[in-house]
Chain A
Amino acid sequence: MDRRFKARLEAQFGDRLSGPVRQRHDQTEIRIRPGDVVPVMTELHDNPIFRFEFLADLAGVDTGEVMQAVYHLWSDTTPDWLRVIADGLSRDDPRVPSVTFLWPGAEWMEREAYDMFGMIFEGNRDLRRIYMPPEYTSFPLRKDFTLPDDAARSPGGGFRHMEQTHIPANTPNTVRRLPGSRQLPSVK
């Protein structure tokens, strides 16, 4: 946990952050709006006090209410990983600018996020499906795409598959779910 790094980030990006800088273990997390991705990333990449020249990961996350594009960066100026969350993409039309102008290696990571979530990365020259066949129509990792045998039946939820024939009457309502459906959880 690098406190001085947190101070540097707040000094540089103070008004652009859409949430507090959070630190836990060896990770520092900042949240920005999707429109700010290009200036923030350019700043992090070019500014000599940051020098985040290494993009470790680019992921998409579907929280059930919104979508996020999560970038992980590494620099030798700080021992922490920097996590940049571009928060607040709408689930119906998630658009975020692409970072392929800084890191061409992000092209396939963005393609994967498009394939799995439907996120459009504006500026990516090659945004087509990568895992699923080109004529596939769904986006598998979205929370409304449910597998047939889906997760309402976790043992942590009180379901003991091998031990009982029905959900017992005293299973609390918070875990009792309708079989075959998954209520969209919400996560910050």
Chain B
Amino acid sequence: MALTKDKAGATGALVVPGRDKVAEPLVVPNTFWSSALPGAYTETHEPDHTHLREFEESGQGRRDDARWSGPLEIIPTKADYVLDLIRMNSLWPLLSGLACCAIEMMSTATSRNDLDRWGHFPFRASPRQADVLIVAGTLTTKMAGPLIRLWEQMPEPKWCVALGDCTCSGGRYKRSYSTVEGIDRVMPVDVYIPGCPPRPEGLMYGMMKLQQLVKQRRGHWPERAIGPTVPQDV
């Protein structure tokens, strides 16, 4: 058996030919279950938003680029940066815990793992005053309607965080008859936090990731057109 040499001339470890080949994986063809959606695992799908898609495409929505207007235009565009900093440091979540992950969310918000350090403490009860919807807990088909209504009632800019396995993909209830397999089937998600339930440090990491997204204007939200949340003549 020949010993290989690397560039510097030193001999490497003993190499047995054939041992560095990766074993052939056992491929089990999926004969058991298939998704109703063709190309579910092979193609990229756009997140399935609700009605806002037509609204976006019709071009009627404003783009949320938060530019100063009028006499303030002389202020250089670093103001956008400041606005993003302001937004990211005071993201007020909506008090909407559904199941077990809500307890971990509450645990993150209370003294030991303090979410107030990032400015996220006030969990608003009303969606009209909230910035971020942390969906914590299994979404069932009965609750999907009210949750979408909550999401729609939140004014822009808004973000959505999927906390826990059940919201990311259906989790341990994926095969149930009344679970929505992942909230990204019904609303656009910005940050996914897996875990069952995720530790409070996990939620903190997810919120910090969201802050990063807000600051760098990445993710869904800069491209989402915003529309009127109140009809024009009201």
Would A and B touch once assembled, by the CB under 8 A criterion?
A: yes
Q: Which residues of A contact B (CB under 8 A)?
A: 131-133, 140, 145, 147-149, 153, 161-165, 179-180
Which of B26, B141, B175 is close to A133, meaning CB atoms less than 8 Å apart? B141
Which of B141, B142, B176 is close to A147, meaning CB atoms less than 8 Å apart? B176
Known: A165-B26, A165-B27. A149 touches B177 (CB 8 A): no
Known: A132-B178, A133-B142, A140-B177. A149 touches B33 (CB 8 A): yes
Apart from A147-B176, A162-B28, A179-B31, list 7 A-B contacts with CB within 8 A.
Answer: A132-B178, A140-B177, A147-B177, A148-B175, A161-B28, A179-B32, A180-B32
Interface of B (DSSP majority class) = loop
Known: A140-B177, A147-B176. A163 touches B26 (CB 8 A): yes
Q: Give residues of chain B (22-45) contacting chain A, Cβ–Cβ below 8 Å.
A: 26-29, 31-33
Question: How far, in whole Å, are A163 and B26 apart by their CA atoms in the complex?
Answer: 8
Q: Give residues of chain B (135-168) contacting chain A, Cβ–Cβ below 8 Å.
A: 141-142
Q: Which residues of B contact A (CB under 8 A)?
A: 26-29, 31-33, 141-142, 175-178
Which of A133, A148, A163, A165 is close to B33, meaning CB atoms less than 8 Å apart? A148
* Minimal beta-carbon separation of A135 from chain B (angstroms): 11
**Which A residues are in CB contact (< 8 Å) with B175?**
147-149
Question: How far, in whole Å, are A145 and B178 apart by their CA atoms in the complex?
Answer: 13
Query: Is the Cβ of A165 less than 8 Å from the Cβ of B178?
Result: no
Smallest CB-CB A-B distances: 9 pairs:
A149-B175, A149-B33, A133-B142, A165-B28, A147-B175, A140-B177, A179-B32, A147-B177, A148-B33
**Which A residues are in CB contact (< 8 Å) with B26?**
162-163, 165
* Minimal beta-carbon separation of B116 from chain A (angstroms): 37
Question: How far, in whole Å, are A165 and B27 apart by their CA atoms in the complex?
Answer: 7
**Which A residues are in CB contact (< 8 Å) with B176?**
147
Query: Is the Cβ of A149 less than 8 Å from the Cβ of B142?
Result: no
**Which B residues are in CB contact (< 8 Å) with A149?**
32-33, 175
Q: Which residue in chain A gives the minimum CB-CB distance to B176?
A: A147
* Minimal beta-carbon separation of A84 from chain B (angstroms): 30
Q: Which residue in chain A gives the minimum CB-CB distance to B27?
A: A165
**Which B residues are in CB contact (< 8 Å) with A131?**
178
Q: Which residue in chain A gives the minimum CB-CB distance to B145?
A: A133
